[in-house]
Amino acid sequence: MIVIRRGEVNEIALTLSELSEEDPREYLFAFYHDQEESEITVILSDTSTTPDRYNLFIFTEGVDITLEPEGDYTYIVYEQPDGSGNLDPTLATREVERGKMLVTEIESTEIGYSYTDEDNISYELD
């Protein structure tokens, strides 16, 4: 399962090239929220230096694409001719991958330390 952190730079690594037939190609991502049944589509650029082995997509949630609301999504990746700019999955060449994704808020983690020495003096660091 892919995990996307809201408001952060996220990386998605997939193996799409092995199932793709278009050359050159671009990938249309469709994100479907499982409860809200909303659809978000975007074309993400493959930034992998070795696309024959894996495809890497880097984006900032909330800047490049906003995934509202948080929760469980189904993602579908379609291939289409490079430069088409099409955002309609029904017009894409074909589906190359489907999977599950979780979109979640940034978790703030507070780490604190406390120490009591032999004189019973307590120290706390936040």
pLDDT digits (tens, 9 = 90+) for 39-73: 999 999 999 999 999 999 999 999 999 999 999 99
Among 71, 75, 68, 101, residue whose Cα is nearest residue 2:
101
Task: Work out the percent of the chain whose per-residue pLDDT is above 90.
Answer: 79
Asked if residues 118 and 111 have their Cβ atoms less than 8 Å apart, the reply is no
CB count, 10 Å around CB of 74?
13
**Beta partners for 41?**
30
91: three-class secondary structure by DSSP: helix
Task: Decide yes or no: CATH 2.60.40.10 for domain 2-125.
Answer: yes
Determine the pLDDT at residue 114: 66
CA atoms of 118 and 120, how far apart (whole Å): 5
